[in-house]
């Protein structure tokens, strides 16, 4: 990803979007505190993205977006808002009501008794090029989040499409993301 962004900055490569799944691991962003790591259940990888600690693993769709924000006329904050719009629309296509929160990044699912995060956002922008990206919990083992304070937010939990009773396949999630991306970007 770093190499591709360097090539984009040099004008030798175009935009790319990667959809993938990681083996179980924790990633830490630039602002992660040692208190955000509760126990080292999985390998920890330091990243150059913004944000705090998060989990990545099987059953979670990770999307890395290497986009030219200058050419798209976007600055970082409006880009994050578009990422939120994109995720909310994709989740709606799958039957989930995702919501944004003014005081925290990511997409949330609320019911009467609680709020849980279903999608995370962690990006970096270098010379007008975005990288890192978003993750959507499709059907990961949610107990894997127990080793960290997800995104530094201890008072809320995490959820997934399957935990909400939406048995979407990874292919269906990818299609919803693709269709929604075209609508938002």
Size of the chain in residues: 185
Q: Do the beta carbons of residue 122 and residue 55 sit within 8 Å?
A: no
Question: Which residue pairs, CB below 8 angstroms and at least 24 apart, start in 123-128?
Answer: 123/49, 123/50, 123/65, 123/76, 123/79, 123/80, 123/83, 124/48, 124/49, 124/50, 125/69, 125/76, 125/79, 126/5, 126/9, 127/9, 128/68, 128/69, 128/70, 128/71
Active site residues: 151
Tokens 């999630």 locate to 173
């Amino acid at each position: 990803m770093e190499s591709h962004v360097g090539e984009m900055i040099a004008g030798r490569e175009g935009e790319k979007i990667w959809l993938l799944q990681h083996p179980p691991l924790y990633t830490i962003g630039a602002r992660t505190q040692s208190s955000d790591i509760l126990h080292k259940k999985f390998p920890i990888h330091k990243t150059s993205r913004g944000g705090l600690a998060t989990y990545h693993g099987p059953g979670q769709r990770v999307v890395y977006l290497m986009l030219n924000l200058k050419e798209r006329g976007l600055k970082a904050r409006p880009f994050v808002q578009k990422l939120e719009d994109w995720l909310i629309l994709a989740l709606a296509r799958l039957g989930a009501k995702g919501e944004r929160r003014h005081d925290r990044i990511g997409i949330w699912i609320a019911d009467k008794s609680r709020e849980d995060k279903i999608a995370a956002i962690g990006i970096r922008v270098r010379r007008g090029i975005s990288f890192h990206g978003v993750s959507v919990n499709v059907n990961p083992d949610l107990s894997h989040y127990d080793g960290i304070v997800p995104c530094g937010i201890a008072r809320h939990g995490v959820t997934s499409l399957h935990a909400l009773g939406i048995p979407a396949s990874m292919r269906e999630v990818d299609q919803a993301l693709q269709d929604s991306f075209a609508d938002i970007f």
